[in-house]
Chain A
Amino acid sequence: MMKSASTLIDTVPTPKQKQVKSTVFSRLRKNNIAFAAFLFIIALHLLVFIGPLIWRVSPEALTTHGALTGWSLQTPMGTDEIGRDVLARILHGGRVTLLVGLTSMLFSVFLGVVVGACAGFFNKVVESILMRITEAMMAIPNFFFVLVALTVLGTSPVMVVIVIAVSSWMEIARVVYGETLKWKQYEFVEAANAAGASPLRILIRYVIPQIYPSIIVAGTLCIAWAILTESAISYLGLGIQPPTPTWGNMLQNAQQYIWTAPILGILPGVAITLIVLAYNFLGDGLRDALDPKVVRKK
């Protein structure tokens, strides 16, 4: 009995995923800016994750060249206010910054998907509680809480990631909620339901795969947001703390030297802007590529 039910579920037809994926990619390729952004993101990740293996200068150790020197062969981007190699710090700082962006996004997507999917899939009570919480969280100027939370809870990298994620999952939850509502009416989901599959199984096996595209778009934009937030809280001295470099705290540090050595502030600032820009363009591009309306027009 049980067995036959599950075979039935597995034979329920689902929309063809592969085809969708390939069209998405080809559409993305046609969007020059988004595709360039995509390549830039890959290149930058390769740079900061592989770069330090080639440029093996420690980001924390003092060079022998002194503080605030200009560029030279030994220190291609000069040294910072206490004499550390800026190139090494940019590379290692990039690692941390991008990792914070990625992990915050993953955590935030996880929260968003759980809340959104549950709200969309289960009964009215669950729905209204979860969506009220989501709306409430969106209504609060959450930066005030980010600030208070980080001031009092401390600023370890884990705490920074948690606080960023907790303050940014709502948008994803809303998107996922809307999509779940839409998909759960489709025949193949109803068929699975009729076949007696557990709600959780239906959710994971049939609904969530359908909303991957929206999650990917939201997630991409979420990384951009997380990186920006990390830099903003660093500016207030509440981000990941030195000696661990991040682009955010390098920027905060450079603020004191804005009069004497503005280059220290320009480099990480440009780096943050470019990566956030790239993620935003990619997110926009993906959204267009996945939007059926755009298909019709083109």
Chain B
Amino acid sequence: MKKVLWIAFSITSLLFLAAGCSFDNNDDGDVTNNAGASNNESSETNGNNTNDSETNTNDSEVAAGEPGGRVSIPIVADPTFNPWHPNAFAESNVINRVLFSGLTKPGLDLVPEGDLAEDWETSDDQLEWTFHLRDDVLWHDGEPFTAEDVAFTFNEITLNDELGANNSSYFNEVNEVEAVDDHTVIFHMNSPVAAMPAYLSFNTEIIPKHIFEGEEDPWSVNSFNKDNPIGTGPFKMSEYTSGQSVLLERYDDYHGETALLDEVEYRVLSDVNTHVAQIMSGELSIFALDDLASVEQLENTEGIDVLSRETPRFFWISLNQEDERFQDTEVRQAMVHAIDRQNIIDTTLQGFGTIANHGIAPALEEYYNPDVPGLEYDPDRAIELLAEAGWEQNEDGILERDGETFEIDFEIGIQGDLEPISQLVQQYLIAVGFDINLETMEWNTMIDKVVIDRDYEMSLNWWRYPADPDLYAYLHSSNAGTGNNIPGYQNDEMDALLEAGSQESEVADRVEIYQELQELMAVEQPYLFLWYPQEAQIRIDSLQGVPELAFGDALHYINEWYLQE
């Protein structure tokens, strides 16, 4: 019996020791060695069926650039294999991009390229978009893909108001889609939308008419949506185990270059810490890291690359424009001056971000203007600007105007880095005299309060948008109140620019319009623009052929990926 007690005691003491050690040893890469050890261990216990793990690749016959092998990608929840399904969230998107194809896909410079469509043109009045489709595309079940599938997807799914399909709001201006012949479709528009090709590359893949036709409710076709989807992508469904994994196998009749990999596995792992642990033990191959706390450790791990990728996203603070205190441009500018954004990027984001002066991200190289003058970190300037707006610090150091202190309820949802970021922002604003009451709430509750009811004063969040500078949805006054214009900001000059930009299809003219818009945004701060986050792409270094794109976009090129020792 003494033995048992002794073991119990040693385990307890080991725990404390171990915890202490790992803290001390971080810098000299001790953890790396352990990860290596765990790698060997797992390959021993799990048999040698996984080609993705580093050690196993050594033993396998796969040579550089040659076909074969399997990559493993983490997803956080069970997916829905239908890009339009209201329940298809991020975890579904990374699968649907591989199973299905859209008319277009983001090119290597994010400018839309053909996928199912070979090329396209727009009529002079821009009210007709004609897409010429490939004639060599087969669905995974062998049926030919035709223009009818496209017309069906849009007319019956996207444009059916009762279904509330994902992303259908991008196609509000589409009146009808007409299949002219087997390989030509025309999108009839109510008004011009220059970003059509970009919208068609963003989670808007085509689904097969021959399966969904006649189904009363496409969302409840579980044999497709939850079990055996039929797409046109480079991989097809092999095996799906709910709560655990999705296994896709190469589709040999893919219309592009046939994929090099044999299989793509998606593992359902809800905890992000597990993603890190599993890529270190060689069980995962690639993902975009949301929680940047582990970047440093991953960077120090041999065999793992941490890559920084631009994405069309921007973080913002929204100040409810119903509240007249926030209608003063000086107040909004002062708040930006008060926040040390570079410090937040350096600490919480581990450097994965660029200070934002407006909403058009550097990922959109053609449009992004880095030279727009910004509002640098300058608390003194913030206090000056606030004084211009009538706010002076009282004896407690709190801003006051006409006997009223500047008290703000700051409401955020709990997700990713939002919590630490908001706490930092709160402290910076307190430093110049705002009285900030930070209230964190569950995501769902936040959406209800901030996005739907607009019952808030200040919030912090981000937008991810298709690879097009059209920010109409987020800034135009017609989207205030209920649309995606969360602050409810309204400005005629900005409206005019947004309208012009969204309708102009000539790139040179668009660039000019959006240059002007960027300057206006930087001054007006309709949202307080914080930064453009970069994606931290984590990848085992044996995985090659992945284009220099964000993980989500690189998935469109998964047929080119391969494993190499």
Contact = CB atoms under 8 A, between A and B. Distances in A.
Query: So, do A and B actually touch in the complex, CB under 8 Å?
Result: yes
Interface of A: 60-62, 66-67, 81-83, 151, 154-155, 237-238, 241-243, 253, 255-263, 265-266
A154 B427 contact: no
B347 A67 contact: yes
B287 to A, nearest CB: 16
Contacts of B348: 67, 81-82
Contacts of A83: 347
A257 B419 contact: no
Contact of B442 (A62, A151, A255): A151
27 contacts: A60-B426, A61-B427, A62-B424, A62-B427, A81-B347, A82-B348, A154-B441, A154-B442, A237-B414, A238-B442, A241-B440, A241-B441, A242-B419, A256-B273, A256-B291, A256-B293, A259-B22, A259-B297, A260-B26, A260-B296, A261-B23, A262-B20, A262-B23, A263-B20, A263-B23, A265-B19, A266-B16
A260 B293 contact: yes
B516 interface: no
A64 to B, nearest CB: 11
Contacts of B440: 241-242
B538 to A, nearest CB: 13
A147 to B, nearest CB: 12
Contacts, number: 72
Interface in B86-111: none
5 nearest CB pairs, A to B: A241-B440, A256-B293, A67-B347, A262-B19, A82-B420
B450 interface: no
A78 to B, nearest CB: 10
B62 interface: no
A266 B19 contact: yes
B117 to A, nearest CB: 43
Contacts of A256: 273, 291, 293-294
A67 B22 CA distance: 18
B439 interface: yes
B445 interface: yes
B438 interface: yes
A60 B442 contact: no
A258 B271 CA distance: 13
A137 to B, nearest CB: 25
Interface string B406-435: 000000001000011001101100100000
A259 B438 contact: no
A258 B273 contact: yes
A262 B26 CA distance: 10
A255 B291 CA distance: 11
B563 interface: no
B228 to A, nearest CB: 33
B443 to A, nearest CB: 10
Interface in B345-370: 347-348
Contacts of B347: 66-67, 81-83
A262 B273 CA distance: 13
B387 to A, nearest CB: 24
Interface of A, helix, strand, loop or mixed by DSSP: loop
Contacts of B419: 242, 253
A258 B294 CA distance: 9
A149 to B, nearest CB: 12
Interface of B, helix, strand, loop or mixed by DSSP: helix
Q: Which of A83, A253, A259, A265 has the most chain B CB atoms inside 10 A of its CB?
A: A259
A151 B442 CA distance: 7
Q: Which of A81, A151, A265 has the most chain B CB atoms inside 10 A of its CB?
A: A81
Nearest to B26: A260
A61 B297 CA distance: 27
B276 interface: yes
Contacts of B423: 60, 82, 242-243
A9 to B, nearest CB: 53
Interface string B151-192: 000000000000000000000000000000000000000000
Contacts of A253: 419
A67 B420 CA distance: 11
Contacts of B16: 266
Contacts of B414: 237, 241
Contacts of A60: 423, 426-427
B196 interface: no
A258 B424 CA distance: 21
Contacts of A259: 22, 31, 273, 276, 293-294, 297
Contacts of B22: 259, 262
A57 B439 CA distance: 22
Nearest to B276: A259
A68 to B, nearest CB: 8
A145 to B, nearest CB: 16
Given A82-B348, A259-B297, 11 more contacts: A81-B348, A82-B420, A82-B423, A83-B347, A237-B414, A241-B439, A256-B294, A259-B276, A259-B294, A260-B26, A266-B20
Contacts of A61: 427, 430
A155 B276 CA distance: 29
A256 B293 CA distance: 7
Nearest to A270: B16
Interface string B33-65: 000000000000000000000000000000000
B445 A81 contact: no
Q: Which of A66, A257, A258, A260 has the most chain B CB atoms inside 10 A of its CB?
A: A260
Q: Which of B16, B293, B424 has the most chain A CB atoms inside 10 A of its CB?
A: B293
Contacts of B273: 255-256, 258-259
Contacts of B23: 261-263
A65 to B, nearest CB: 12
A238 to B, nearest CB: 8
Nearest to A238: B442
A92 B276 CA distance: 32
A58 to B, nearest CB: 9
A266 to B, nearest CB: 5
Given A81-B348, A263-B23, A257 B438 contact: no
Contact of A154 (B20, B291, B445): B445
A189 B441 CA distance: 52
Interface string B276-308: 100000000000000101101100000000000
Contacts of A242: 419, 423, 438, 440
A54 B2 CA distance: 46
Nearest to A244: B438
Given A151-B442, A262-B23, A243 B426 contact: yes
Nearest to B31: A259
